Amino acid sequence: MSKFFNQKTNYKMRYICVLFLLMFGCSSTQQKRKLIGNWSSINSSNLINIEFFNDSLVIEQWGDTNSFKWYNDESNIYYSSLKVNTPDNKYDFVLINDTLLLRKNKNEIDFLKLVRINNAFDYFNKTLNLNLPVKSNLTPVLNEENAYILYALYDKNKVILKTSDNVFLSFDDLKRDINLHIANTELDDVSKINVMLFADERVSKADILKIKSIIKDINNMKVYQIFTNKDIDYKKIDWKQDIKWYGVLE
């Protein structure tokens, strides 16, 4: 009887172990499928782009791009050189829908936050949460390289002005900041300096008119308000390609 009981207990234990391994393996495989794709950090002080492929991993950070082999379990991503035999590096990770949180070790308090990137607009928009309005009959923006770029975002029922340098402005600060941009641009012909206005579709017409009025009061400066439509779909552009912007010139 004791022998039979021991055999039955051993069988149950083996069954539980196999079941656990199957469940763990399936979970890891599901996590791997969800990881595959492009990810980019939203922290401007630690910019990192990661591309997960089925059999390789590409990390771009601080201007360097390196490829690795990788695998994962439920809470860790392990990666090592494709060229030489080296010990595994490791990230602790948490995956929440289209947000990936990484840290090098469990002693770190803060995770590095990355978001899934599907196209060029996702990459541009990763820190903005911007919804561009739709409009027809758009023209390409001229002199983009000298443009003053302004974002009019909408958050908690109010308009937030932000520059391409991640500086937040009040309406009263806008004129001073544009003049500073003009002064720092080494152009003999300042008429080539335009403003590219990326205004969220939720920003009211009254606020947009107010912004444009401030801008035009500076040497009658021209404003390109950026729009999208079905023919000019920025989401069709690959995530590593530059975007050619279109808008309405005023």
With 0-12 / 13-18 / 19 or more C-beta atoms within 10 angstroms meaning exposed / middle / buried, residue 231 is: exposed
Beta-strand relationship, 158-163 and 168-169: antiparallel
Structure-model confidence comparison of residues 45 and 144, the more confident one: 144
Residue range 48-54: mean pLDDT, rounded: 96
The yes-or-no verdict on residue 49 having pLDDT over 90 is yes
- Say which range, 9-23, 49-63, 198-212, 217-231, has the weakest mean pLDDT: 9-23
CB–CB of 208/226 below 8 Å?
Answer: no
* CATH number of the domain located at residue range(s) 2-117 in this protein: 2.40.128
Stretch(es) of the chain classified as CATH 2.40.128 = 2-117
The yes-or-no verdict on residue 117 having pLDDT over 70 is yes
CB–CB of 88/79 below 8 Å?
Answer: yes
The yes-or-no verdict on residue 159 having pLDDT over 80 is yes
Residue range 200-214: mean pLDDT, rounded: 97
The yes-or-no verdict on residue 4 having pLDDT over 60 is no
% of the chain with per-residue pLDDT over 90: 72
pLDDT, mean over the chain: 89
What local confidence, expressed as pLDDT, does residue 24 receive? 46
Tokens 């590095």 belong to residue: 112
What local confidence, expressed as pLDDT, does residue 250 receive? 92
What values do phi and psi take at 51, rounded to 5?
-115, 115
Residue 125, amino acid: N
Structure-model confidence comparison of residues 4 and 146, the more confident one: 146
C-alpha span between 152 and 131 (Å, rounded): 11
3-state DSSP of the chain? CHHHHHHHHHHHHHHHHHHHHHHHHHHHHHHHHHHCEEEEECCCCCCEEEEECCCCEEEEECCEEEEEEEEECCCEEEEEECCCCCCCEEEEEEEECCEEEEECCCCCCCCEEEEEECCHHHHHCCCCCCCCCECCCCEECCCHHHCEEEEEEEECCEEEEEECCCCEECHHHHHHHHHHHHHHCCCCCHHHCCEEEEECCCCCHHHHHHHHHHHHCCCCCCEEEECECCCCCHHHCCCCCCCCCEEEEC
Q: Is the dihedral of CA 68, 69, 73, 74 positive or negative?
A: positive
What local confidence, expressed as pLDDT, does residue 61 receive? 92
Entry pTM: 0.83
Residue range 105-130: mean pLDDT, rounded: 93
Residue range 113-140: mean pLDDT, rounded: 96
